[in-house]
Amino acid sequence: MLTEAPPAAADLIAPLDSNALPLPQGRPLPGRDWGSRFSRQAHSATETSLKIPTRRRHSVTTSLGASLDELFDTVQRQTLRYFWEFGHPTSGLARERSNATPNIVTTGGSGFGIMAILAGVERGWVGRQAALDRLITMVCFLGQAERHHGAFPHWMDGESGRTIPFSQCDDGADIVETAYLIVGLLSARQYFRGSEAKAYLLRSLIDALWQDIEWDWFTRGSDSLYWHWSPVHEWAMDHTIHGWNECLIAFVLAASAPRHPIEPSVYHRGWAAGQAFANGRSFDGIPLPLGPDHGGPLFFAHYSFLGLDPRRLRDCYADYWRQNVASTLINQAHCIRNPQKFDGYGADCWGLTASDSIDGYVAHAPDRDLGVITPAAALGSFPYAPAECHRAFRHFASRSERLWGVYGFVDAFSPAMDWYADSYLAIDQGPIVIMIENYRSGLLWRLFMSCPEIRLGLAKLGFSRGPTADIAL
């Protein structure tokens, strides 16, 4: 645990209000009693009310003259509120977004939220016992939620645990969203290593969920991993996962699985055989090892690497630190060059990734630039380009009158069109907290990489930890 003094910026952040959640009642789906069985254990193990004493919030503008660490404290702590205060009142899972049907919870975003809570515990913003109670509530709910061959859907009802369709045929298992959830759960398992009953219970519940996922079933006996399966439409989505994109972590987990692992050929002949996998060209003078031209949206460098540590990580295809640094710098260079001449773009106002946009939700990228900047793009890239991200951070803070709110920076804004989102999304707020923490302390990287199964899975796929990469691009 960190032993630093209370943060100087504590008085800049709104209180994380008391929000004790009801422990899950036994509401098993037909034919499943896993959740109700462990819920009864949880009722006897959890007693702590989830109360977090903090001070009143002020605008982040007040701290513009503060040190970078004080700014980090302000933004991480305020953004954590999305997962702690705004978590679903029954399940504790992360709601999909702040401006949607309140019972929609997101599987991947909940994994991000778990990791953000761990950062909050480590920084002293969330009590350890309160976090254990919250996580036990979440995991017991997951145990009785609808699953298919162990995998969760993209969206669930936070009250009942039943699937909420993401699209017409996407009404069943989503192996990528499941992977993001499992990264958070395994990180929590590694964090709560104590001998107390609650910690032991949490680890046992997490292991049960982890071991139940039939990763190999999602290959259909082939050398490909399939993203979706529906109990109604079966394999109608027919979406095999090929790189390069945000899905690397699904293959790492699938190879690491204790009971239903994939063969290495699924990684090498499936993931690495994608038409947009290898690149090798340079953009704005920066060589890009993998992925689409100009790097794609920056969540490619975030989602798989919230727990998977890219430092010195390499295989026969790439050095993953170089890959993520390159995509970050190319993204900023595009905004500086600003080929479409959007007002406001520059070295201190940049960052293209998936977020809300002026007309719906868009995966913004250099080759799909609509003039919309997403704060999570730069703030989630701090480990890769700290100086460039620091400039953006200060600029976002200077716009806080409209860009800053109850859960940190709003999802996106357009300087050119004077537009600011009125929303927060779990999958954007999470990487802000997590990747800033990885930059500051390496906490989430250290936790996830300490899993013995992950080390074995990486070795099985041919990954190694080489010497420190030269990132002067």
pLDDT in tens, 162-182: 999 999 999 999 999 999 999
User: Which pLDDT score is estimated for 61?
Assistant: 56
Tell me: pLDDT of 77 over 50: yes
Q: How confident is residue 59, by pLDDT bands cut at 50, 70 and 90?
A: low
- Percent of the chain residues past pLDDT 90, beyond the cut: 84
Average pLDDT, the chain: 89
Between 63-77, 82-96, 323-337, 387-401, the lowest mean confidence (pLDDT) is in 63-77
Average pLDDT over residues 390-416: 97
The two tokens of residue 390 are 């620091």
pTM: predicted TM-score of the whole model, two decimal places: 0.90
pLDDT for residue 37: 46
- Find, among 244, 428, 443, the residue nearest to 327 by Cα: 244
> What value does the mean pLDDT take over residues 370-388?
98
Residues contacting 337, CB < 8 A, separation 6+: 284
pLDDT of residue 65: 75
> Per-residue pLDDT averaged across 37-65, rounded?
47
* Nearest alpha-carbon partner for 193 in 456, 439, 452, 465: 452
Residue 82: pLDDT over 50: yes
Taking residue 311's Cβ as centre, other Cβ atoms within 10 Å add up to 18
What is the model's pLDDT at position 60?
62
pLDDT at 45 over 90: no
- Per the DSSP assignment, residues forming a β-bridge with 362 are 355
Q: Which stretch of 49-53, 350-354, 432-436, 438-442 has the lowest confidence by average pLDDT?
A: 49-53
For 278-333, how does the pLDDT look when each residue is reduced to its tens digit (9 = 90+)? 999 999 999 999 999 999 999 999 999 999 999 999 999 999 999 999 999 999 99
Whose structure tokens read 């998936």? 354
